Chain A
Amino acid sequence: MADTPIARTASRSSRSGGPRGRRALTAYLFLAPFLILFLVFVVAPALWGIWISLHSWNPLLPIHRFIGLDNYIQLFTPGSLTSGDFWLSMGATAIFTVLSVPFLVVIPLFVAVLLNQKLRGGTVFRAIFFAPYVLGVAVIGVVWRYLLDPQNGVINNLLDGVGITQNFPWTVDVPWAWISLVGVTVWWISGFNMVIILAGLKGINAELYEAAAIDGAGAIRKFWSVTLPGLRPVMAFVTTTTILSSANMFGQSYLLTKGAPGHATRTAIMYIADEGLSQNQMGAASAMSYVLFAVLAIISIINFRLQSRTSGE
């Protein structure tokens, strides 16, 4: 995929430098170290996972019995050993995704539009908003677990100080747990999306704004008829990646709520990891991971279709 003219000429002229077979050998020698890792830890596991999912696979037992599609059938059979917990975790994942994605798209968009005005210190604000993202989810998790602790936490005690003496069960009861998980995630990664959207804003042709101004458009009108259409590809990218990252949520629930109350906030990744690596039900867990993958693929395709249809108008 040499897609620039320069790269194309470079590779064409290099071909004349020696016999073709030797050039190919050189290329594969350069690729070899990466390709070995890639085959062993990416391609092989992706395919082997399907094989595992067709077995009753407990790593502690010497023999893994081939059971065909049974692990998948179980997941779609109401009342089976795995289906209830699995779909509960898929439901929790869906709730988190539906609640978090709008905030993770709209708030960064709003902040990016503000930062796109000519102002001093813009890069300082940009760095501050981005900063939480470089902290790992483990740091974010334990820090907010303390701040939101129902008894000894900072938030409830600050609220106490201003007369709101109700002890909100931020980490132990719904809907509070959902508010915490979404709020913490928005605090953590909004800056990441904001930086991407800001780059998109800088790419919008300034003449479009001038033309709109000549037509008498105000700030709000300009936002709807110039900014948003100009941002469409970037917003499609941000929305898609945010849906995927929310659907893969793990650490926040693991540390903040531990899935509580009951298993209400236990996400699909949490359940799959536990089922496969703690309960040793590797066949069932692999089947679940492929079902999750399929669901995400379908959502991505629908999302992509919708985005391209609206931009086709």
Chain B
Amino acid sequence: MTTSTLSTAAPAASATPVAVSGRRRRNPRRTWSKVGLYAILTVGALIILLPLVWIVLTSFKTDSDAINNPASPLPNPFSIDAYQTLINSNEPILRWFLNSLAAGVLQTLIILVTASMGAYALARLDFPGKKIVFGAIVLTLFVPPVIFLIPNYLIVQNLGWLDTLWAITIPGAAGAFGIFFLRQFFVNLPGEIEEAARLDGAGDIRIFLQIILPLSRPALATLAVLSFLANWNDFLWPIYVLLSPDHETLQPGLAVLQGAYSTHFAIVMAGAVIASVPVMILFTLAQRHIVESVAASGLKG
């Protein structure tokens, strides 16, 4: 389903009965309301997409073209100057890219390991204090993040982690979302295979590694994507805990670029494109996982 579906969809509604609900007979009023529906949705999609397309095109403009012709979307001439300037500039954007990538991957791995182990205990094992632990985890889901800002800054400082990769990976991995999300999934897994394995003498470690984790692949993949996105896009925290230019990540780096190249729009837009490409690839690949996990969040609430 690509753009071809979109462009042919409106005429198709009148030409094929498939688009019309099987129970009702086709009539002209329904067809016209379908056309209106597609018109509104298409306008909405353009409002979302046009600014994004415009930005990508602007990043391929020359510096003077971007300043002098903001109202014309097409680069004239087409140029990769902005990207070249950016890569050769004092702002080490490739370094930031690698820092972001390392932080995102590392934090995602930590979350997957700690949250899946913890969620196994909460969903499948019985132990004293379980309700208190789970209650505390759920409670913190409602605490606004600003509460943790200053004390966590001091904790990270005392650990000697300011301006290091640890500052932007470890504290963020302690959030309640991952364990809450996986527990929900583990609780609903069928118990029969686990029962049979236990009768065969399998212990918790084997059941966790060989039964629960393989059955939870979709949930783990979704959590991995959501964790990576959240870390990649984090903005407030890295602004304050990362100090030297070499240790920045892309998001606070964009704010630095905006300051350094305030009127060189093509360069700043090239930075925005570089910071967006990985998440856009991830979104394209895992679109269904991401959207569906968001959709489910409201039904639980």
Contact = CB atoms under 8 A, between A and B. Distances in A.
B237 to A, nearest CB: 10
A142 B127 contact: no
B255 A15 contact: no
B268 interface: yes
A10 B204 CA distance: 12
B174 A277 contact: no
Q: Is the interface of B mostly helix, strand, loop or mixed?
A: helix
B232 A136 contact: yes
Interface string B111-149: 001110110111111111011011011001011111111
A13 B114 contact: no
A61 interface: no
B106 interface: no
A163 interface: no
B40 A143 contact: no
A99 interface: no
B190 A6 contact: yes
B299 A203 contact: yes
Nearest to B294: A195
A241 B174 CA distance: 21
A233 B301 CA distance: 8
B31 interface: no
A41 B107 CA distance: 14
Interface range on chain B: under 10, 10 to 19, 20 to 34, or 35 or more?
Answer: 35 or more
A41 B174 contact: yes
Interface residues of A, number: 114
A248 B48 contact: no
Contacts of A4: 187-188
B221 interface: no
Interface stretch (B75-83, B86-94, B277-285): B277-285
Q: Is the interface of A mostly helix, strand, loop or mixed?
A: helix
Contacts of A106: none
B290 A7 contact: no
A132 B48 CA distance: 7
Given A129-B45, A138-B275, A153 B298 contact: no
A194 B268 CA distance: 30
Contact of B125 (A23, A34, A43, A286): A23
Contact of B19 (A3, A26, A38, A119): A119
Contacts of B206: none
B195 A276 contact: no
Given A28-B121, A40-B155, A48-B151, A237 B298 contact: yes
A152 B151 contact: no
B164 interface: no
Interface of B: 1-2, 5-6, 9, 12-13, 19, 21, 34, 37-38, 40-41, 44-45, 47-49, 51-52, 54-55, 58, 67, 70-71, 110, 113-115, 117-118, 120-128, 130-131, 133-134, 136-137, 140, 142-155, 157, 170-171, 173-176, 179, 187-191, 194-195, 198, 204, 208, 229, 232-236, 239-240, 250-252, 254-255, 257-258, 263, 265, 268-269, 271-272, 275-276, 279-280, 282-283, 287-288, 290-291, 294-299, 301
Interface of A: 1-4, 6-7, 9-15, 17, 23-24, 26-28, 30-31, 33-35, 37-38, 40-46, 48-49, 52, 59, 111, 114-115, 117-121, 123-132, 134-139, 141-147, 149, 152-154, 157-158, 160-161, 187, 191-192, 195-200, 203, 233-234, 236-238, 241, 244, 247-248, 250-251, 254-255, 268-269, 272-273, 276-277, 282, 285-286, 289-290, 292-293, 296, 300
Given A26-B204, A241-B301, 12 more contacts: A6-B191, A27-B121, A120-B12, A146-B269, A196-B297, A199-B295, A248-B144, A273-B239, A285-B150, A286-B151, A292-B144, A300-B142
7 tightest A-B contacts by CB?
A: A136-B233, A45-B151, A34-B118, A199-B295, A196-B298, A237-B301, A27-B127
